[in-house]
Amino acid sequence: MAFDPSTVRGEFPILDQAVNGRPLVYLDNAATTQKPRAVLDASRNYYQRINANIHRGTHLLARAATESHEAARATVARHLNAAEPAEVIFTSGTTDSINLVASILSLAPGDEVLITTLEHHSNIVPWQMLCERSGAVLKVVPCLDDGTLDQAAFGNLLSDKTRITAFGWVSNAFGTGNPVLQMTAAAKAAGSLVLIDAAQAAPHMVIDVQALGADFLAYSGHKVYAPTGIGVLWGKRDVLDALPPWRGGGEMIKEVSFEKTTYNDLPFKYEAGTPNIEGAIALAAALEFVDGLGLESIAAHEQALIQRAADGLSSLPGTRLYGPADRIGALSFAVEGVHHYDLGTLIDQMGVAVRTGHHCCQPLMARFGITGTTRASFALYNTAEEVDALVLAVEKAVAMLR
């Protein structure tokens, strides 16, 4: 049975509003998703009923908060099919997770880091910083004209010098889905560690980290209907155990003296200080919400919306779509002679919220000789009628701008 967004739209209070006198059409989900009542209630319940610091207190609220926080970790582990909850590290988001890994790796001059042209800045800059510190060399997999990666070049760039290979599962700019199983297997065969940026994959597909074979996987809660400021770094236990801590402070220690500090076990080794307790609990609520609906059904619904949008927009004169035909989550386009900022501003006046600009992918935009695109991105609560409203708004805006 096809997924029906009308059955869940009522769970998202923010959607029930008007923008400039028109019903809100929210199509900026790749930037951040809206939150269902289950998530809002989880956040509110924490602060109203069990607000306390965790792991250290013996009083009732401290115990309740600790139990809820660690139950959230177990929920994330189940959602990812992690081998154990201790492999789940709570961070502030994908950017924080990638920076953590880039900061604890020790590379030497001549070592190589391999990334791709499709990457978000958060999967570029931390590796540049690592290379600057260590003398390692950054290598980049090129992108083909259809917005997919050059897999032959990827294979050729892998070598016995590749220490870490980092790539996104789904491009936030073009919606390109990468063959992560094959890429991971090739990188591991070359002796490289592998990090997968799953920020744009997490809302749209089932993730099984044990089947993927990667060493690290990162994603952000706010992309998958949870609050901002909470994210996940999953890592294989043996890999994380062998690497040093990142930040120092409370919780990541077992014993401290002025002479020596003994570090804590996973996951606390990488969770210095008071964590985002409410965020972790709300993230678990979000994952339970989407798991209850079924990610496969959600993905099929979103794919139908993207195809409808692609068909409608491509029928407009002078419109170019970027990325492959089988996009995931997002659709980027440009209209000849119309600046993306102007287009986004005008369709916002018609109640349609999209993203304009380089989408934190400036190297990718440079590859295609553009400064940015207009991007519509989709979530489980979007409807076919909203897609039609997008196409009509673009058509009207272009007529006004030309």
Please check whether residue 345 lies inside any domain of the structure: yes
Please check whether residue 375 lies inside any domain of the structure: yes
> Where do runs of H (alpha helix) occur along 268-331?
277-293, 295-314
Residues 263 and 301 in one domain: no
pTM more than 0.85: yes
How many structural domains are present in the chain? Answer: 2
What pLDDT sits at residue 378?
98
Residues 261 and 365 in one domain: no
Residues 84 and 188 in one domain: yes
Please check whether residue 311 lies inside any domain of the structure: yes
**Of 292, 314, 336, at which residue does a domain stop?**
292
Please check whether residue 34 lies inside any domain of the structure: no
Assign 1 a pLDDT band (cuts: 50, 70, 90). Answer: low
CB-neighbour burial class of residue 237 (10 A; exposed 0-12, middle 13-18, buried 19+): middle
HSE toward the beta carbon, residue 280, CA cutoff 13 A: 25
Question: Which residues are marked as active site?
Answer: 360
What pLDDT sits at residue 196?
99
Residues 64 and 193 in one domain: yes
Q: What is the mean pLDDT of residues 33-59?
A: 97
Cα–Cα dist 242/88, whole Å: 16
Assign 371 a pLDDT band (cuts: 50, 70, 90). Answer: very high
What pLDDT sits at residue 56?
85
- Give me the domain span that covers residue 254: 40-292
Please check whether residue 33 lies inside any domain of the structure: no
Residues 48 and 21 in one domain: no
User: CATH number of the domain that 113 lies in?
Assistant: 3.40.640.10
Cα–Cα dist 380/217, whole Å: 23
The greatest distance separating any two alpha carbons of the chain, rounded to the nearest whole angstrom, comes to: 72
Please check whether residue 233 lies inside any domain of the structure: yes
With a pLDDT cut of 90, the percent of the chain lying above it is: 97
Residues 140 and 264 in one domain: yes
DSSP letter for 371, please. S
Residues 136 and 267 in one domain: yes
Residues 361 and 304 in one domain: yes
Q: What is the pLDDT of residues 251-281, one digit of tens each?
A: 999 999 999 999 999 999 999 999 999 999 9
Residues 269 and 307 in one domain: no
Q: What is the mean pLDDT of residues 121-139?
A: 98
**Of 263, 292, 321, at which residue does a domain stop?**
292
Residues 298 and 285 in one domain: no
Residues 359 and 259 in one domain: no
Please check whether residue 23 lies inside any domain of the structure: yes
**Of 229, 260, 292, at which residue does a domain stop?**
292
Assign 394 a pLDDT band (cuts: 50, 70, 90). Answer: very high
pLDDT, mean over the chain: 97
Residues 279 and 180 in one domain: yes
